[in-house]
């Protein structure tokens, strides 16, 4: 970046990446990179929506989420249509968020998710030890 644009001043900070692409490879290069970025983002969103809908279906099928709502597949397509609609609605609502707020939601969600995984592992170990299914640690830490 320093070779293409020495210094830290940009006329428009929000368009700095585009202007750097134009400086490096020209207008056509910048447009191709933008198209590839948009196509990749759309494909990523579709994969995210489908996997989230399938995850909700599995949780509904297994009884973790209400089975009547989340545990159904379409007879015609074999897909969890209601779950797809729910994830699509969440995506439409998320489109109204600014980038800072959306990033905060993602960071907070990841933090809570990883924290809950660790809490569940500890709770599982405690429960299994009380049942006698797991031996206690032989070493004191």
Residues 61, 95: Cα–Cα separation, whole Å:
30
- Distance from C-alpha of 16 to C-alpha of 87, rounded to nearest angstrom: 32
pTM: 0.65
**Per-domain boundaries in the chain:** 1-96, 99-141
18 phi and psi angles, rounded to 5 deg: -65, -45
Residue 21 has pLDDT above 80, yes or no: yes
d(CA 63, CA 70): 9
Cα separation of 17 and 30, whole Å?
9
- Residue pLDDT, tens place only, 53-100: 999 999 999 988 999 999 999 999 999 999 999 999 998 998 899 989
């Amino acid at each position: 970046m320093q070779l293409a644009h020495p210094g830290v001043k940009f006329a428009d900070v929000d368009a700095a990446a585009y202007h750097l692409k134009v400086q490096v490879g020209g207008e056509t290069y910048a447009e191709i990179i933008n198209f590839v970025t948009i196509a990749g983002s759309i494909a990523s969103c579709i994969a995210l929506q489908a996997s989230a809908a399938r995850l909700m279906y599995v949780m509904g099928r297994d009884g973790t989420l209400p089975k009547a709502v989340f545990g159904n597949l379409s007879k015609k397509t074999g897909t969890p249509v209601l779950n797809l609609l729910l994830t699509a609605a969440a995506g439409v609502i998320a489109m109204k968020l600014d980038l800072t707020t959306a990033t905060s939601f993602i960071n907070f969600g990841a933090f809570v998710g990883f924290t809950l995984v660790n809490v569940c592992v500890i709770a599982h170990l405690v429960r299994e030890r009380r049942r006698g299914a797991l031996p206690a640690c032989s070493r004191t830490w």
